[in-house]
Amino acid sequence: MIAAALMLVMMMYAAFAPVSERGIAPRFAEAAAKVTVTVNCRSNPETTRVANNTNRSIKVRTVGSINDPRSNEPFVVNRTLKSRKAITFESGPRANGSNVLTKQYIYDNDAGSKEGARVSTSVGRFLDKC
C-alpha cells in the first residue's frame, strides 16, 4: 500500500513538475540563461553589458543599479536586441556614444557585493553583482 502511494506521488511529480527539456533543471534556471548581464563597476566608464542568448529578438527595457539607486533610475532604454547579440551601456564621466545612461557614476564601489546592475527585459529581470 505504501509502495503504491509512493509510486503515485512519483508519477504525479513527473507529470506536473516544472522541468527543462533535459528533465534535470526547473524552468526558472532556463530563464536565467536567456540573458546574461555583466557589469564593470570600477571602470570609467562603468559598463553594463547585456547579452541576448535566445533565438529571437528581445527588448531591453531598463538598466539601473541595485544598491541605493539614484532618483532617475532605472534608466529607460527600450532597445531591441537581436538574437545572439549584445549591447554595452556606459555610465560615468568618460561615457560616450549612443549607449550612455548618464555622465555620472551609478555604481557604489564601497557597497561591495550589495551593488550591481539590474536589467529589465521582455523575457525577465536579470542582474550581475560588482
Q: Where are the domains of the chain?
A: 27-129
Rounded to 5°, the CA angle 27-29-32 comes to 115
Task: Spell out the per-residue pLDDT of the chain, length 130, in tens.
Answer: 554 444 444 444 444 444 333 344 444 444 447 999 999 999 999 999 999 999 999 999 999 999 999 999 999 999 999 999 999 999 999 999 999 999 999 999 999 999 999 999 999 999 999 9
pTM: 0.75
For residue 63, report the phi and psi dihedrals to the nearest 5 degrees: -135, 135
- State whether CATH 2.60.40.1260 applies to domain 27-129: yes
Nearest CA to 81 out of 43, 108, 55 is that of 55
